[in-house]
């Protein structure tokens, strides 16, 4: 058999050679970064991982063969790539080439004919779906790698306050698909966030539409977005249009305002924890350009995201919506322990036919068929997004998941009265107990903005309304509790009414626990 034919058989039929030892994690890392990587290796080995480090092959074809040889024993589960794929600032010996996949759907909407993708490296049987967890740490120097590894350790140590671990902050731009379609997308997004994010979590929305109560002063939109990140949160998610080095802008009748770009990304300095950033947008993960993309710039910030999920080319609303549904379900209801597992399982479910009825996926499917310019290509669109979406960061990053607090209270209560809330917590620590409105309600109904007013007084009111819109708590107390049962008397405010939640969180040096249960508050004069 000729060497060329042997290589083709290896690529088409799968691995044939047996590795010397079994390992669950393969790291493809240039020699220039291997000394700086050693603390990560020791840290992960201390958690039980078996790791092998190899120099990258010269091209993407060689890397595919390299990974398949390493996977021959069947023990390989994780793949980490260290280094950028293209950067005019980096020496060639510090780069690891990415692969390219022919575009079939997004090319119809102006994207390049090929998709930059590492996905083929994790796809062991060439069916388009990854079989390994996969992440790329896009660093340009050993110092950047050392800094990122220390951030991983800090993130997983659990030493910081748990308050940030119950926050999920969303940023959205206007779709630009027409007023009616944009409104449908906005309402569906709100419904999904309201219904699928458990009520024990605190969410915020910063929306780039001047007519929305979720829009702060447009001229301070970028500062507000950055502050939402810097306050610390579990996930920070952007939904909207994107470019290689910046997000879309807030469009006003008399101008436009920035949201985030590579320059303002340097202002990201999370005060608590380190958010996982998710971009449901185009191009923000295009690592193969001559300049670092927005995801790369954000990842290298000392106070930036601990990991980022983003697209390397034009991404499309339907498939991104399905992927986000699968990630939400996987995080809140699945058993993934690492971020790499969450992304892997979500991609696998993205292309698979649902095994049971899911009203939210059915909603997204119906919208895709109704509004997609190519409704006959929805299956191919989902398959393409497996290649488009990438994890920047460590695939072995351990997800933050809370223990559960059990809460019990009366189903209904009259405003102005007191009630006893009984509960049980697996952890002792500081308990924060709250009465809060559901996310689809307002404590104070915001005014409607039917006409655009550019006066300073009007813009000042934007921030007032934005803050009031996010004030869903109507009562709160903090007390120290021991692990086990507790009882707390709750005073229902006299102006509270309607569908609400009792929400609790225990913050402890041993971890954090959360829980919530619905209650209905009747008016005081009912």
CA dihedral (407, 412, 418, 419) positive or negative: negative
Task: With cut-offs at 50, 70 and 90, classify the pLDDT of residue 260.
Answer: very high
Token couple for 514: 């959360």
Scanning the structure block, which residue is given the tokens 């001047």? 210
pLDDT tens string 475-526: 999 999 999 999 999 999 999 999 999 999 999 888 899 999 999 999 988 7
The span from the CA of 69 to the CA of 83, in Å, is 21
- The residue written with tokens 């322990």 in the block is 337
Q: How far apart are CA 391 and CA 209, in angstroms?
A: 29
Q: Give Cβ neighbours of residue 165 (< 8 Å, ≥ 6 apart).
A: 234, 273, 400, 402, 512
Sorting pLDDT into bands at 50, 70 and 90, what band is 163?
confident
Residue ranges per structural domain of the chain: 3-136, 403-522
**pLDDT (0 to 100) of residue 19:** 45
Instruction: Tell me what pLDDT residue 193 has.
Output: 86
Residue 49 burial (10 A CB sphere; 0-12, 13-18, 19+):
middle
What was the pLDDT predicted at 526? 72
For tokens 């939402």, the residue is 228
Q: 21: pLDDT confidence band, cut at 50, 70 and 90?
A: low
> CB 75: neighbour CB atoms within 10 A?
14
Q: What is the CA radius of gyration of the chain?
A: 24
pLDDT at 17 > cutoff 50: no
* CA pair distance 300, 232, nearest whole angstrom: 17
403-522 has CATH 2.60.120.620 classification: no
What mean pLDDT do residues 357-377 have? 87
What pLDDT does residue 524 have?
86
Among 20-24, 174-178, 243-247, which is the least confidently predicted range? 174-178
Intrachain domains 3-136 and 403-522 with the same fold: no
Architecture label for domain 3-136: 3-Layer(aba) Sandwich (3.40)
Using DSSP, state whether 155 is helix, strand or coil. helix
How, if at all, do strands 429-437 and 473-481 pair? antiparallel
Helix (H) or strand (E) holding 501: strand 498-508
Q: How far apart are CA 80 and CA 214, in angstroms?
A: 38
Can you give the pLDDT at residue 234?
Answer: 96
How does residue 4 score in pLDDT terms, banded at 50, 70 and 90?
A: very low
- The answer to whether residue 5 scores a pLDDT higher than 70 is no
The whole-number pLDDT of residue 374 equals 86
Structure tokens at 375: 């409704």
| Sequence-ordered list of residues with C-beta below 8 angstroms from that of 56, at least 6 positions apart, any chain | 28, 29, 30, 63, 66, 81, 83, 96, 97
Q: What is the pLDDT of residue 91?
A: 78
φ/ψ (deg, to 5) at 355 = -85, -15
pTM: 0.93
Whole-number Å distance between alpha carbons of 227 and 271? 10
Question: pLDDT at position 206, please?
Answer: 96
DSSP 265: G
Which DSSP letter does residue 116 get? E
Tell me the pLDDT tens digit for each residue of 295-308.
Answer: 999 999 999 999 99
d(CA 343, CA 7): 30
Helix axes 359-371, 378-388, angle to 10 degrees: 110
* Cα angle, residue 302 at apex, residues 301 and 308 outer, rounded to 5°: 55
Nearest to 44 by CA among 340, 290, 317: 340
Would you place residue 329 in the very low, low, confident or very high pLDDT band (cuts 50, 70, 90)? Answer: very high
3-state SS class at 411: coil
Which of the residue ranges 69-78, 170-179, 270-279, 434-443 would you say has the lowest mean pLDDT? 170-179
> What pLDDT was estimated at residue 160?
53
**Alpha carbon distance 222, 248 (integer Å):** 11
Q: Which residue has the higher pLDDT, 90 or 334?
A: 334
Note whether 350 and 324 are within 8 A (CB).
no
**pLDDT at residue 189, as a whole number:** 78
Which residue in this structure is represented by tokens 């549904």?
A: 325
Give the helix/strand (H/E) hosting 390. strand 389-392
How far is 486 from 338, CA to CA, in rounded Å? 32
SS3 99: strand
Q: How confident is the model at residue 208 (pLDDT cuts 50, 70, 90)?
A: very high
pLDDT tens sequence across 436-449:
999 989 999 999 99
pLDDT band at residue 371 using 50, 70 and 90 as cut-offs: confident
Q: Which helix (H) or strand (E) holds 412?
A: strand 412-414
Euclidean distance between CA atoms 194 and 200, whole angstroms: 11
| CA-based max dimension of the chain | 89
Residue 3 pLDDT > 70: no
Measured in whole angstroms, the distance separating CA 307 from the mean position of its chain's CA atoms is: 8
**Distances from the Cα of 480 to the Cαs of 207, 428, 506, in angstroms?**
37, 8, 9
Q: What length is written for the chain?
A: 526
Q: How confident is the model at residue 1 (pLDDT cuts 50, 70, 90)?
A: very low
Question: Six-digit token pair at 115?
Answer: 């998709």
Q: What is the pLDDT of residue 35?
A: 98
């Amino acid at each position: 058999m000729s060497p060329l034919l042997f290589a083709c058989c290896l690529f088409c039929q799968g691995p044939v050679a047996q590795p010397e030892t079994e390992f669950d994690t393969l790291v493809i890392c240039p020699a220039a970064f291997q000394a700086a990587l050693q603390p990560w290796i020791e840290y992960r080995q201390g958690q039980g991982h078996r790791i092998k480090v190899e120099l990258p092959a010269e091209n993407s074809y060689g890397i595919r063969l390299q990974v398949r040889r390493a996977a021959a024993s069947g023990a390989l589960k994780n793949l980490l790539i260290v280094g950028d794929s293209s950067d005019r600032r980096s020496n060639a010996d510090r780069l690891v080439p990415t692969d390219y996949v022919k575009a079939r759907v997004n090319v119809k909407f102006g994207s390049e004919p090929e998709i930059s993708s590492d996905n083929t490296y994790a796809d062991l049987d060439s069916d388009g779906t990854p079989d390994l967890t996969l992440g790329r740490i896009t660093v340009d120097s050993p110092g950047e790698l050392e800094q990122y590894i220390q951030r991983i350790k800090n993130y997983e140590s659990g030493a910081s306050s748990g308050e940030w671990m119950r926050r999920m902050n969303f940023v959205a731009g206007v779709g630009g698909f027409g007023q009616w379609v944009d409104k449908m997308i906005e309402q569906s997004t709100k419904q999904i966030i309201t219904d699928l994010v458990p009520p024990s979590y605190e969410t915020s929305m910063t929306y780039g539409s001047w007519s929305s109560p979720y829009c702060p002063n447009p001229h301070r939109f970028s500062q507000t977005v950055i502050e939402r990140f810097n306050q610390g949160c579990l996930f920070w998610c952007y939904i909207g249009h994107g470019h290689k080095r910046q997000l879309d802008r807030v469009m006003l009748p008399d101008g436009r305002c920035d949201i985030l770009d590579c320059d303002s990304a340097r202002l990201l300095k999370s005060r608590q924890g380190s958010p996982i950033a998710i971009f449901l947008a185009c191009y923000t993960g295009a690592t193969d350009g001559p300049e670092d993309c927005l995801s790369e710039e954000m990842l290298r910030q000392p106070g930036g995201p601990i990991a980022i999920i983003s697209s390397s080319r034009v991404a499309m609303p339907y498939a991104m919506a399905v992927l986000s549904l699968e990630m939400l379900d996987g995080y809140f209801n699945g058993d993934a322990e690492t971020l790499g597992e969450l992304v892997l399982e979500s991609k696998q479910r993205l292309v698979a036919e649902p095994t049971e009825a899911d009203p939210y996926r059915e909603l997204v499917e119906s919208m895709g068929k109704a509004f997609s310019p190519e409704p006959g290509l929805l299956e191919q669109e989902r398959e393409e997004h497996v290649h488009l979406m990438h994890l920047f960061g460590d695939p072995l990053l351990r997800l933050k998941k809370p223990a559960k607090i059990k809460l019990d209270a009366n189903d209904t209560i009259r405003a102005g009265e007191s009630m006893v809330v009984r509960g049980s917590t697996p952890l002792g620590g500081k308990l924060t107990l709250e009465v809060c409105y559901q996310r689809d309600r307002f404590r104070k109904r915001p005014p409607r903005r039917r006409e655009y007013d550019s006066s300073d007084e009007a813009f000042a009111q934007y921030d007032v309304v934005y803050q009031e819109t996010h004030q869903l708590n109507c009562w709160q107390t903090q007390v120290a509790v021991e692990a086990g049962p507790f009882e707390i008397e709750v005073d229902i405010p006299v102006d509270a009414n309607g569908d609400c939640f009792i929400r609790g969180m225990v913050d402890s040096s041993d971890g954090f626990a959360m829980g919530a249960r619905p209650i209905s508050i009747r008016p005081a004069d009912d």
